[in-house]
Every structure is written in structure tokens, then in C-alpha cells.
């Protein structure tokens, strides 16, 4: 096919920078404009310094919708709905929103978790990219929900890197606070709980059990590790078989037979899962990069599906390892 012509709205933040890093090397992508009101006229590498020597694109405050096939909305939560209300995006332009604004599938959006809604994403013009915690936790639970195996309360303890808080500074994102430190935030009330529950009910109708979620701020920059546990009557072998069958046709999800760590997925679009059985409890550990599979990489995965490309196009990325 011809190149996919792309515009990015809110390109100066972390998710915008990750999109640029991926799309510059995507064989079917053509970056047409990167919109930023605060950085207009400056080279994108002046903000995203890792792109020095990779592109001469400038940030712009213009919105040439007529020149693109798809736009990515990378502004903060609440800003996407405001942007779409204030700007007339042509129906011919697909929209992939990385904010929380349309994850409830309002305004014609499809929830963009490929491992759940792949076929719907392929035919959609409006895709709501999932949250980072939500992605990691859902990928730990979807196979069980698809088999009607969520039969108890679910407990989740998950830690994310500092980039999960976005680029704007706050007391808990400064190096002097974050370094050598860890803290709980939004215990039992995190905004991603709504979309997690929505997806689980999509697969297991009538699921009404509590999801007890304790999120942690980690003292590292990238990655999420979610530890999810619940009651499970079968054997470990039964559980592994359920997960391997569910993810057999999903290229970014892998089941590990040995202990896993976040560095295995940093800078990649992978989700690696490890499953353990302890008494009557099943423990699923799920790791992703919060900026890639948890945001921009998944957004490109959704773009690939929406434009009929192989799901992995431009996303064969190597982890840092050490």
C-alpha cells in the first residue's frame, strides 16, 4: 500500500516522542506534521533529543488535516475531547486517541486493545488506546475471563516508572523525590479500573467481583510490573494451557517458564507473562513498557490493524537487556 500519512497532536510529550521514535523507522509511515502549541517552529529533536540526526521535522501550530490519513492525539487527559469539539476532523481521517477520554467507547470509539478487539479495530475510524496499567493488568486476565474462570476477587499490586506520570513536573516526579523512593498512590481508586472492568465483562458476562488494585510509583523511568492473583481450582499446567491457547495468534504476548524482569520489555511492544500456582491461588506477573505497549507502541499496533498492515510492522524492537 501507499505510505500512511500521519499527524501527531501534542507531540512534545513522552507519548509523542515515543510515537516519533517508532514511526520514523516504520516502513509504511510518512510523518506529515507534529503539532505542538508550546514548541511551534522548533525542531522536534530540540525536545526529543534522542531524535537528533534522525529527522529535521519542525513542530507546528497548524493542523493540515487534509494532508493526512490518521492523527494521533497525545495531549493530556481531557484534552482530546476538547480538541475534537473545537476542530472539524474530516471523516476520512482516522483518529487514535492516547488519552482516557474515549476508553468507555463513547462518540463512536472502539477500545484499542488488540488482544481483545482486534477485528473491531480493523474496521474502526476511531480508536481509544488503553491505559498503561490497564494494558498490563488486562493481559494478565483476558485468557481467564474468556474461559469464564474469574470466580473470585482479583488482587493487583503493580509498579510503574516515572514516565507514567507524563512530562509535566509535580512533587512526586522530581529526581530528588523519586530516586531511592517508592510510594503508593490512588489505592483502590485508580482511573484504569473502569476500563479493566469493562473489558473483563465483555469476555465474561456477569463478572461483578472486586478488583483490588494497589499502584506504586517506582524509582525507575520505564516499565510496569503487575502482580495479579486470584482463586483458581485447576493446576498450573491447566492455567498455562489456557494462556498459551489464548495468545497463540497474538504476536506481542509471550508466556515465560522462568522468572521475569522489567528490562526484558523496556523499549519493546512486548508483554511477557509468568504464571505461578500457590495453594488455591494463581499468580500472574505481567510486564510491559508503559510508553510502548502501554501507549505509543500499542497505538502504532492499532494503526497497523486499521490500515491492513501486519500487526508487527515497525514494532520489532529490541529490549535493553542490561
Catalytic residue set: 132
Find the helix or strand (DSSP H, E) in which 137 lies: helix 132-146
- DSSP-assigned states of every residue in 53-78: TT---BEES---GGG-SEEEE-S-TT
Contact 160, 291 (CB under 8 A): no
Residue 9 φ then ψ, to 5°: -105, 125
Residues near 234 by beta carbon (within 8 Å), at least 6 away in sequence: none
End-to-end CA distance of the chain: 38
CA angle 99, 111, 202 (to 5 degrees): 135
CA angle 262, 265, 271 (to 5 degrees): 100
At residue 156, the 3 state secondary structure works out as strand
- DSSP-assigned states of every residue in 229-275: EEE--S-HHHHHHHHHHHTTT-TTEEEESS---GGGTTTSS-EEEEE
Of the candidates 164, 172, 268, the residue with the CA atom closest to the CA atom of residue 222? 164
Beta pairing, strands 126-128 & 94-97: parallel
- DSSP-assigned states of every residue in 82-99: HHHHHS---TTSEEEE-S
Amino acid at each position: 500500500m501507499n505510505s500512511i500519512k500521519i499527524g501527531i497532536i501534542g507531540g512534545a510529550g513522552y507519548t509523542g516522542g515515543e510515537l516519533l521514535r517508532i514511526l520514523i523507522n516504520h516502513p509504511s509511515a510518512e510523518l506529515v506534521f507534529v503539532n505542538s502549541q508550546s514548541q511551534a517552529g522548533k525542531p522536534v529533536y530540540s525536545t526529543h533529543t534522542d531524535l537528533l540526526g534522525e529527522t529535521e521535522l519542525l513542530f507546528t501550530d497548524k493542523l493540515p488535516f487534509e494532508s493526512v490519513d490518521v492523527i494521533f492525539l497525545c495531549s493530556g487527559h481531557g484534552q482530546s475531547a476538547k480538541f475534537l469539539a473545537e476542530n472539524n476532523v474530516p471523516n476520512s481521517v482516522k483518529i487514535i486517541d492516547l488519552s482516557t477520554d474515549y476508553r468507555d467507547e463513547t462518540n463512536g470509539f472502539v477500545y484499542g486493545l488488540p488482544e481483545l478487539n482486534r477485528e473491531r479495530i480493523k474496521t474502526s475510524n476511531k480508536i481509544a488506546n488503553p491505559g498503561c496499567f490497564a494494558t498490563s493488568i488486562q493481559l494478565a486476565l483476558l485468557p481467564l475471563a474468556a474461559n469464564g474462570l474469574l470466580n473470585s476477587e482479583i488482587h493487583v499490586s503493580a509498579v510503574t516508572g516515572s514516565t507514567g506520570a507524563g512530562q509535566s513536573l509535580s512533587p512526586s516526579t522530581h529526581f530528588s523525590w523519586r530516586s531511592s523512593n517508592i510510594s503508593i498512590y490512588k489505592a483502590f481508586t485508580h482511573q484504569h479500573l473502569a476500563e479493566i472492568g469493562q473489558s473483563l465483562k465483555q469476555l465474561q458476562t456477569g463478572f461483578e467481583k472486586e478488583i483490588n488494585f494497589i499502584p506504586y510509583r517506582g524509582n525507575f523511568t520505564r516499565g510496569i510490573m503487575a502482580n495479579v492473583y486470584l482463586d483458581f481450582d485447576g493446576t498450573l499446567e491447566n492455567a498455562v494451557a489456557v494462556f498459551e491457547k489464548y495468545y497463540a495468534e497474538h504476536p506481542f504476548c509471550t508466556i515465560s517458564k522462568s522468572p521475569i524482569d522489567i528490562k526484558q520489555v523496556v523499549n519493546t511492544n512486548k508483554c511477557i507473562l509468568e504464571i505461578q500456582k500457590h495453594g488455591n491461588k494463581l499468580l500472574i506477573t505481567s510486564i510491559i513498557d508503559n510508553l510502548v505497549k502501554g501507549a505509543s507502541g500499542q497505538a502504532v499496533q492499532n494503526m497497523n490493524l486499521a490500515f491492513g498492515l501486519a500487526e508487527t510492522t515497525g514494532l520489532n524492537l529490541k529490549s535493553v537487556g542490561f
